Amino acid sequence: MSTLHTTTKNVRNNEQTQFEDILYCFFDKVFDKYTEEKLAQHLPVFIREMAKAQIIGKQGFTNSVSRFLQLICQLAVDIPHICKIFAMCVMDTLIEVKMIDFTKIKWHDTPSVEGEEDDLADFKEVDAHYKVMAHLLNKYPEFTAADWLKANCPVLLSDEDSLKHVVDHASLITEIKEELELNEAAAAKLCGVLGLDKDRKSDF
């Protein structure tokens, strides 16, 4: 990775490639190439070694996570296990090594909608974001406190930025329940913390 950093440049601005760009590209490639089992086995080790080597700092890791989270909703359509693995093998490991700052995560890219006039111009894909966070909430009970989410991931609790963009709240809650193997009560409680409402109808 150090070699890539010193020998490559960003094609957009001709500046030296940043470590966070290399890590983001790495995530993009490995999730499409390797099985869930291989990723679960090797990703945490890779993340720990990267943190130990101090090649990338907390801000760099956080920026890489942000960029991948902006892509994960699209990837989840074809890679069903991606939310679980990214949450539990990447983000959970970064929590373990204290190399992620949730307050600095940018969950949504800033899209260019110039010239778009259709009703879906402001629609954002968000379902995978809630799946990722559900895995983390399930492991870390302290994250389920409303104050923690408001302070660290306010965009997920924002109706305008996220909640209104969930296509089907009831279906998403069911998917989270099945993916995390929760009973009805536990799933309802966890999803309620995230602001998901099984009785809410789609805004689109």
pLDDT the model gives residue 146: 76
Per-block mean pLDDT, blocks of 10 residues, the chain (204 long)? 45 62 91 95 96 92 96 95 98 98 94 54 89 98 91 96 96 98 97 96 79
Which residues touch 118 (CB under 8 Å, ≥6 apart)?
A: none
pTM of the full predicted structure?
Answer: 0.88
What does 47-78 look like in DSSP terms, one character per residue? HHHHHHHTSS-HHHHHHHHHHHHHHHHHHTTT
Taking the CA of residue 191 as centre, how many other CA atoms within 13 Å lie in the half-sphere pointing to its CB? 28
Contact 156, 104 (CB under 8 A): no
**Measuring CA to CA, which residue among 156, 151, 158, 150 is closest to residue 133?**
156
Hey, where are the domains in the chain?
Answer: 15-106, 122-204
Task: Give the CA angle between residues 155, 120, 178 to the nearest 5°.
Answer: 55
